[in-house]
Amino acid sequence: MTNVELFSLSVLALASIFIGFVSRDFFNGVGTNFFGNSVAASPATFLMEMETLPVIIKLLPFIGSTAGALAAVFLLTQSNWLSM
């Protein structure tokens, strides 16, 4: 990456953080404590809830990522892009 690209990305990152901080009340409402307990969520309760899920729900991320990878490989092998 060139210095110009790094500078541009830095400006965009800082601007998005600033705009997100300024406009957070538009999404949550003025003065609400919406994100107050989001960091303090107990991992123990999350793991306990995960144990009661059906196995197919637990496997959905694996199935989705595998299907996406297979679709990408299939589409790349069927396209003419590789033969150029």
Query: Around 18, how many Cα atoms within 13 Å sit in the side-chain half-sphere?
Result: 6
Report the chain (84 residues): mean pLDDT per 10 consecutive residues: 88 92 76 66 63 86 95 85 60
| pTM greater than 0.85 (yes/no) | no
Angle at 28 between CA 57 and CA 12, to 5 degrees: 90
The distance of Cα 59 from the centroid of its chain, to the nearest Å, equals 18
Asked if residues 58 and 64 have their Cβ atoms less than 8 Å apart, the reply is: no
50: Cβ contacts below 8 Å, ≥ 6 apart: 58
